[in-house]
Amino acid sequence: MNWVTLALNNFTLSYGLTINQSVTGYEGQDTIIFGGVSVAQQTFGLATNTPFSDVEDGIIGVWIIPLIDAKINRKSVGTVPTAPAIIDTGTTLVYGISSVVDAIHSQIPDAILYSLQQEQIWLIPCDTISVVSFPFDNGLYSIDPAELIMNTNKSICISGLQSNHANFWFKFI
Protein backbone atom coordinates (compact mmCIF):
# COMPACT_ATOMS: atom_id res chain seq x y z
CA MET A 1 0.00 0.00 0.00
CA ASN A 2 1.51 3.37 -0.99
CA TRP A 3 1.52 6.41 1.33
CA VAL A 4 -1.27 8.19 -0.59
CA THR A 5 -3.65 5.23 -0.18
CA LEU A 6 -2.63 4.90 3.46
CA ALA A 7 -3.24 8.62 4.05
CA LEU A 8 -6.63 8.52 2.34
CA ASN A 9 -7.74 5.50 4.36
CA ASN A 10 -6.46 6.84 7.70
CA PHE A 11 -7.07 10.56 7.33
CA THR A 12 -6.02 12.86 10.15
CA LEU A 13 -4.84 16.44 9.83
CA SER A 14 -2.58 17.59 12.64
CA TYR A 15 -1.49 21.19 12.94
CA GLY A 16 1.06 22.94 15.11
CA LEU A 17 3.42 21.39 17.60
CA THR A 18 1.01 20.60 20.41
CA ILE A 19 0.56 16.91 21.14
CA ASN A 20 -3.00 15.53 20.86
CA GLN A 21 -4.36 18.57 18.99
CA SER A 22 -5.76 17.38 15.68
CA VAL A 23 -8.61 17.74 13.23
CA THR A 24 -9.88 14.48 11.76
CA GLY A 25 -11.68 14.08 8.46
CA TYR A 26 -14.90 12.20 8.95
CA GLU A 27 -17.58 14.04 7.02
CA GLY A 28 -17.76 15.11 3.42
CA GLN A 29 -14.62 14.97 1.30
CA ASP A 30 -11.75 14.05 3.56
CA THR A 31 -8.83 14.13 1.16
CA ILE A 32 -5.48 15.85 1.38
CA ILE A 33 -2.65 15.63 -1.11
CA PHE A 34 0.84 16.89 -0.37
CA GLY A 35 3.22 18.34 -2.92
CA GLY A 36 1.44 21.40 -4.30
CA VAL A 37 -1.41 19.62 -6.04
CA SER A 38 -4.62 21.67 -6.37
CA VAL A 39 -7.12 21.34 -3.54
CA ALA A 40 -10.69 22.29 -4.46
CA GLN A 41 -13.54 23.10 -2.09
CA GLN A 42 -13.26 20.45 0.63
CA THR A 43 -15.17 19.85 3.83
CA PHE A 44 -14.54 17.62 6.82
CA GLY A 45 -16.43 18.02 10.07
CA LEU A 46 -17.21 21.69 10.28
CA ALA A 47 -14.00 22.82 8.54
CA THR A 48 -14.10 24.06 4.97
CA ASN A 49 -11.22 24.83 2.63
CA THR A 50 -12.11 28.21 1.17
CA PRO A 51 -10.13 29.61 -1.78
CA PHE A 52 -8.54 33.05 -1.41
CA SER A 53 -10.44 34.22 -4.50
CA ASP A 54 -13.28 33.19 -6.79
CA VAL A 55 -10.75 32.24 -9.47
CA GLU A 56 -10.03 28.49 -9.55
CA ASP A 57 -6.27 28.88 -9.83
CA GLY A 58 -5.21 25.73 -7.98
CA ILE A 59 -3.93 27.69 -5.00
CA ILE A 60 -4.97 26.27 -1.67
CA GLY A 61 -7.16 28.64 0.31
CA VAL A 62 -7.69 28.74 4.05
CA TRP A 63 -9.26 26.28 6.48
CA ILE A 64 -12.24 27.83 8.26
CA ILE A 65 -14.14 26.52 11.29
CA PRO A 66 -16.99 28.43 12.97
CA LEU A 67 -16.11 29.57 16.50
CA ILE A 68 -19.03 29.77 18.91
CA ASP A 69 -17.43 30.25 22.33
CA ALA A 70 -14.23 31.12 24.17
CA LYS A 71 -13.27 29.89 27.62
CA ILE A 72 -10.77 30.77 30.30
CA ASN A 73 -10.03 27.95 32.74
CA ARG A 74 -12.97 26.04 31.16
CA LYS A 75 -15.44 28.83 32.03
CA SER A 76 -17.18 30.65 29.17
CA VAL A 77 -16.33 34.34 28.86
CA GLY A 78 -19.94 35.06 27.95
CA THR A 79 -21.62 35.84 24.70
CA VAL A 80 -19.29 35.24 21.80
CA PRO A 81 -20.51 36.28 18.36
CA THR A 82 -20.35 33.30 16.01
CA ALA A 83 -17.43 34.04 13.75
CA PRO A 84 -15.20 32.14 11.36
CA ALA A 85 -11.86 30.91 12.68
CA ILE A 86 -9.09 30.62 10.10
CA ILE A 87 -6.72 27.84 11.17
CA ASP A 88 -3.20 26.69 10.31
CA THR A 89 -1.94 30.08 9.20
CA GLY A 90 1.73 29.66 9.97
CA THR A 91 1.72 32.40 12.60
CA THR A 92 2.43 31.71 16.26
CA LEU A 93 -0.19 34.23 17.41
CA VAL A 94 -3.95 33.94 17.72
CA TYR A 95 -5.86 37.04 16.60
CA GLY A 96 -9.51 37.43 17.55
CA ILE A 97 -12.49 39.72 17.86
CA SER A 98 -11.55 42.59 20.20
CA SER A 99 -14.49 42.25 22.59
CA VAL A 100 -13.81 38.53 23.12
CA VAL A 101 -10.03 38.97 23.42
CA ASP A 102 -10.66 41.69 26.02
CA ALA A 103 -13.10 39.42 27.91
CA ILE A 104 -10.55 36.59 27.95
CA HIS A 105 -7.75 38.82 29.24
CA SER A 106 -10.04 40.33 31.89
CA GLN A 107 -10.11 36.84 33.44
CA ILE A 108 -6.31 36.40 33.41
CA PRO A 109 -4.91 37.74 36.70
CA ASP A 110 -2.63 40.78 36.25
CA ALA A 111 -3.20 41.05 32.47
CA ILE A 112 -2.57 44.58 31.19
CA LEU A 113 -3.73 46.29 28.00
CA TYR A 114 -0.70 48.31 26.91
CA SER A 115 -1.17 51.16 24.44
CA LEU A 116 1.62 52.34 22.17
CA GLN A 117 0.65 55.02 19.67
CA GLN A 118 -2.29 53.55 17.70
CA GLU A 119 -1.65 49.94 18.79
CA GLN A 120 -2.87 48.09 21.85
CA ILE A 121 -1.10 44.95 23.05
CA TRP A 122 -2.17 42.57 25.79
CA LEU A 123 0.55 41.74 28.33
CA ILE A 124 0.26 38.85 30.79
CA PRO A 125 2.43 37.49 33.59
CA CYS A 126 5.09 35.15 32.20
CA ASP A 127 4.14 32.58 34.83
CA THR A 128 0.40 32.61 34.10
CA ILE A 129 -1.44 29.36 34.70
CA SER A 130 -4.63 30.48 32.95
CA VAL A 131 -5.80 28.13 30.20
CA VAL A 132 -7.59 29.68 27.20
CA SER A 133 -9.71 27.25 25.18
CA PHE A 134 -12.05 27.30 22.21
CA PRO A 135 -14.73 24.69 21.48
CA PHE A 136 -14.90 23.49 17.87
CA ASP A 137 -17.52 20.94 16.81
CA ASN A 138 -17.41 18.30 19.58
CA GLY A 139 -13.90 19.06 20.82
CA LEU A 140 -12.17 21.65 22.95
CA TYR A 141 -8.92 23.21 21.74
CA SER A 142 -6.93 24.38 24.77
CA ILE A 143 -3.87 26.60 24.63
CA ASP A 144 -1.25 25.55 27.16
CA PRO A 145 -0.23 28.59 29.25
CA ALA A 146 3.38 28.12 28.10
CA GLU A 147 2.19 28.52 24.50
CA LEU A 148 0.16 31.63 25.34
CA ILE A 149 3.18 33.72 26.29
CA MET A 150 5.78 35.44 24.16
CA ASN A 151 8.62 36.16 26.56
CA THR A 152 9.84 39.74 26.79
CA ASN A 153 11.38 39.67 30.27
CA LYS A 154 11.16 37.58 33.43
CA SER A 155 7.88 38.91 34.82
CA ILE A 156 5.67 40.31 32.05
CA CYS A 157 5.18 38.79 28.59
CA ILE A 158 3.28 39.60 25.43
CA SER A 159 0.14 37.49 25.19
CA GLY A 160 -0.05 35.17 22.19
CA LEU A 161 -3.72 36.20 21.89
CA GLN A 162 -4.27 39.68 20.46
CA SER A 163 -7.14 41.71 19.00
CA ASN A 164 -8.06 41.67 15.34
CA HIS A 165 -10.35 44.48 14.27
CA ALA A 166 -12.11 42.31 11.69
CA ASN A 167 -14.98 39.95 12.54
CA PHE A 168 -13.01 36.70 12.40
CA TRP A 169 -10.49 34.63 14.31
CA PHE A 170 -7.08 33.90 12.87
CA LYS A 171 -4.86 30.89 13.65
CA PHE A 172 -5.75 28.06 15.87
CA ILE A 173 -4.29 24.59 15.83
**Alpha helix positions (H), the chain:** 3-9, 98-106, 145-148
Residues 123 and 45 placed together within one structural domain of the fold: no
DSSP β-bridge partners for residue 169: 85
Residues 34 and 107 placed together within one structural domain of the fold: no
**What digits encode the pLDDT tens for the residues 48-82?**
555 555 555 554 566 677 778 889 999 998 866 77
DSSP 148: H
pLDDT for 105 equals 95
Which of 32, 48, 65 is the C-terminal boundary of a domain? Answer: 65
Which of 17, 34, 65 is the C-terminal boundary of a domain? Answer: 65
Which of 50, 65, 80 is the C-terminal boundary of a domain? Answer: 65
pLDDT for 9 equals 47
- Specify burial of residue 8 (Cβ count, 10 A radius: 0-12, 13-18, 19+): middle
- Overall domain count for the chain: 2
pTM, whole model, 2 decimals?
Answer: 0.63
pLDDT for 56 equals 54
Q: How far apart are CA 65 and CA 103, in angstroms?
A: 21
In this prediction, the residues of the chain whose per-residue pLDDT falls under 70 are: 1-63, 79-80, 88-92, 137, 152, 167-173
pLDDT for 15 equals 34
Residues 45 and 78 placed together within one structural domain of the fold: no
